[in-house]
Amino acid sequence: MTISSALSNAMTGLRAAGRNSQTISANIANAMTPGYGVRSVALSSAQIGGVSIDGITRNVNPALLGDRGLAESAFNNASDRTNFLINYENALGTPDDPNSLSARIAEFETSLITATSRPDAPERLEGAVNSARDLASLITSASKNIQEARSEADRNIDFQVNQLNSALSGVKELNLQITKTLAVGGDTSALQDNRQALVDEISTIVSVRQIPRENGQIALYSTGGAILIDGGVAEIEFSAVNQVTPYMTQAGGMLSGLTINGYPVPTDSTRGALGGGSLGAQFEIRDELGVDAQTQLDAFARDLIERFQDPAVDPSLAIGDPGLFTDTGIAFDPLNEVGLSERLTVNAAVDERQGGEAWRLRDGINAVVQGDVGDSRLLQSLSTTLSTKRTPASGNFASGAFSAINLAATLTSQLGADRAQAEQSLTFSSTQLNELTQLVLAEGVDTDQELQRLLLVEQTYAANARMIEAADEMMQTILRL
């Protein structure tokens, strides 16, 4: 080996050591950076001697990253659904809650029994009216809670669609930049990191699969079959509303669905084109869970109103007259059940806050003057109708007849079962996401290993530096001859 070739080999070794040192430093500095792929320098023997730097290799496991993305989508979907059910259950109250639906019914029934024992006592009659008002207020509040959740879901859909379109445009732009960089022989690792971060962001919204394409590009397909990116990028559109009401549904045309490149796509939980992530969960809350919850609560409110507007319970009522509980002051109309729970009120005739008199609870809703203050027959009839078993005229309850408190227990138990199932699904998806995240981290930057590699690079650098020093000494010796 000539002195010049030795110098050349040592210089290539120094350059390789410098690039290795730079790469290792970047790995250590980005050990906690999301989406960062650990780098390594690809080296080979040069034909004329020494070491050739072939480029920077980004070491990632695409299959593992894809599984982690799907798990994150499932986790976000289950989390949003569970939160809705928990909030709704809290609005109705659990059986051990003194302010729950069942507790309010029991309190109302107790107040009627107390008033029956002393029908002449105004404070007992007023206590029964107050209990009825508290019951109606809880049902109304729960209904508003449902619509607020649906309205928030509609706003979240709008936000996530905009976020999704922005991220998809970013992936398309990075695809082009990666292709251009590869064409001139540049390093695309940083661009791929940025692209992976955007893909991870998309995965929180929509469940997607990533497919490699030529020239370093990728395609993204939703698990529901929608093409999001494959050369071109999909344009997703949605129109938000300010406030969702019980009457508003997507099936009725009052709420927006999704379009991809101008074509409507399904959004339901079973076959949604962009389901699986938080976006699918928001559609499910707005169009399925919220609608079902409202339907059940309206059916319960209907049962409560119909119990007390029966002339057989209160002889002062004619057919079609409102009873103790009303639909905003009027009798219940079977053709106007949607949103009934939000409109539930106590009859103004017995409510002092609305200008009524509590004694009508004893003498009849439509009584003009007070009757016998010792007559408790109507109060007994009101108390009895609460415990009377009747078959609900609407709603999705178990078959059979229910008393008012049994129907409330059925409503809350159904909700509790749905919430428990959702929490079980959330626990599974959370465990799966944690495990896959740990596997991704295990294949990421290992700072201990990187430091060990850095020590070897330092030794390599020192060896090549010593080679240059030896060559210099030989040249100096030759020049002195």
Same domain flag for 26 and 133: no
Share of the chain above pLDDT 90, in %: 71
Same domain flag for 38 and 169: no
Contact between 168 and 229 under an 8 Å Cβ cutoff? The reply is yes
Same domain flag for 284 and 201: yes
Same domain flag for 297 and 339: yes
Domain count along the chain: 2
Same domain flag for 210 and 359: yes
* Predicted pLDDT at 277: 95
- Looking at the predicted structure, is the pLDDT value of residue 104 above 70? yes
Same domain flag for 376 and 454: no
Q: What is the spatial distance between Cα 377 and Cα 112, in angstroms, rounded to a whole number?
A: 11
For 382: left if phi > 0, alpha if psi spans -120 to 50, otherwise beta; the answer is alpha
**431: which residues sit within 8 A by CB, 6+ positions away?**
none
Once rounded to an integer, what is the mean pLDDT over residues 428-450?
87
* Predicted pLDDT at 265: 95
| Single pTM value for the model | 0.89
Tokens of 297: 């609560």
Q: Is residue 325 part of a domain?
A: yes
DSSP state of 286: I
Its domain, for residue 475, covers 3-60+445-480
Give the up-direction half-sphere exposure of residue 441: CA atoms within 13 A in the CB hemisphere. Answer: 10
Largest CA distance in the chain: 139
Same domain flag for 451 and 418: no
Identity of residue 106: A
**Any idea what the Cα angle at residue 165 is, between residues 162 and 167, rounded to 5°?**
110
Once rounded to an integer, what is the mean pLDDT over residues 418-422?
95
Q: Is residue 99 part of a domain?
A: yes
Q: Is residue 258 part of a domain?
A: yes
pLDDT tens digits for range 311-358 = 999 999 999 999 999 999 999 999 999 999 999 999 999 999 999 999
Same domain flag for 87 and 53: no
**418: which residues sit within 8 A by CB, 6+ positions away?**
85
pLDDT tens digits for range 165-195 = 999 999 999 999 999 999 998 888 889 989 9
Residue in 79, 100, 95 with CA at minimum distance from that of residue 142:
100
Once rounded to an integer, what is the mean pLDDT over residues 44-66?
78
pLDDT tens digits for range 220-255 = 999 999 999 998 999 999 999 989 999 999 989 999
Q: Is residue 438 part of a domain?
A: no
* Predicted pLDDT at 1: 61
Q: Is residue 440 part of a domain?
A: no
- Looking at the predicted structure, is the pLDDT value of residue 435 above 80? yes
* Predicted pLDDT at 42: 78
Same domain flag for 70 and 190: yes
Once rounded to an integer, what is the mean pLDDT over residues 205-226?
94
Q: Average pLDDT, whole number, for the chain?
A: 91
Same domain flag for 255 and 202: yes
Q: Is residue 439 part of a domain?
A: no
pLDDT tens digits for range 253-278 = 999 999 999 999 999 998 899 999 99
Same domain flag for 471 and 357: no
Same domain flag for 22 and 127: no
Q: Is residue 194 part of a domain?
A: yes
Q: Is residue 164 part of a domain?
A: yes
pLDDT tens digits for range 357-412 = 999 999 999 999 999 999 999 999 999 999 999 999 999 987 889 999 999 999 99
